[in-house]
Amino acid sequence: MVRSYFHLHLVSDSTGETLINVGRAAAAQYEGVSAIEHVYPLVRSGTQLERVINEIEQAPGIVLYTLVGHELTERLEEACRATGSPALSVLEPVHSLLQSYLGAHSTARPGAQHMLNAEYFKRIDAMNFTLAHDDGNLPVDLDEADVVLLGVSRTSKTPTAIYLANRGLKTANIPLVPGVPPPPVLETLRRALVVGLIASPERIVQIRQNRLLSLKADEDSPYVDRDAVANEIATSRRLFARNRWPVIDVTRRSIEETAATIVDLHREHRMKFIAT
């Protein structure tokens, strides 16, 4: 397949995270097409905007923006029309809908979603907890966690835990090692949601082989033996079933998809915990 490319300019008066997520999610729907991203965060003055416009003039393409200043918006749209670059305010349709429904007007506050409020500090606290409880560390206070992830090596426990922490969930992860029993405290947890992660033996072997290759380690090991890996996964399945812990197969799931499922499971678990 011949791949084509286009320039995608993302102009934001904040961090640009919203635009990056929206732009990538939309561009991913088009096979054979890739975006060359130009990201311009914290654009809050005319001088900064003129630098952005110069870049757009050098490489015209699609322009997505989140600018709350009226003058900046008008100048950017004017420049886009001059270069033939389609431009869209990503948040404007949402603002219009909210204003119509709420009967109120928004206040222009660049980066308002990143204010240092209680939710922000909750996420920082969750991240600190998660990093301190990575890979089986400090299991004695697991019941302070919101989520505990279990799984054999290379089931994406750490990246999933960090993603959940960024959503404000204190997440610990514990590896299941052959011949090593899991911490007994797991079976007495009440507050924390325990989730088992599994993947196909083929997928686990592939990831482990790449891991050993990067470390220049000996590949003649049960760590990458298909039958040994299959036995590890079967043992973990029995553990999860015995304790009635929910199981997620991450073989074909992205970290984001796995985390979204866990967030839903945690919401249900929390409601049951509150009810009891």
**Residue 216 is assigned to a ligand binding site:** no
- Closest to 176 in 3D by CA, of 122, 109, 127, 232: 232
Q: 181: which DSSP letter?
A: P
**Residue 153 is assigned to a ligand binding site:** yes
Q: 250: which DSSP letter?
A: -
**Residue 96 is assigned to a ligand binding site:** no
Q: Which residues, other chains included, contact 195 with Cβ-Cβ below 8 Å and sequence gap of 6+? A: 147, 148, 149, 150, 245, 246, 247, 248, 262, 265
**Residue 130 is assigned to a ligand binding site:** no
**Residue 151 is assigned to a ligand binding site:** yes
**Residue 158 is assigned to a ligand binding site:** yes
User: Residue 112's CB: how many other CB atoms inside 10 A?
Assistant: 11
Residue 29 CA: distances (Å) to CA of 210, 254, 258, 275:
29, 16, 20, 42
- Closest to 171 in 3D by CA, of 186, 149, 189: 149
Alpha carbons 81 and 88: distance in angstroms, whole number: 12
Q: Binding site for ADP: what residues are annotated? A: 151-158
Q: Binding site: what residues are annotated? A: 151-158
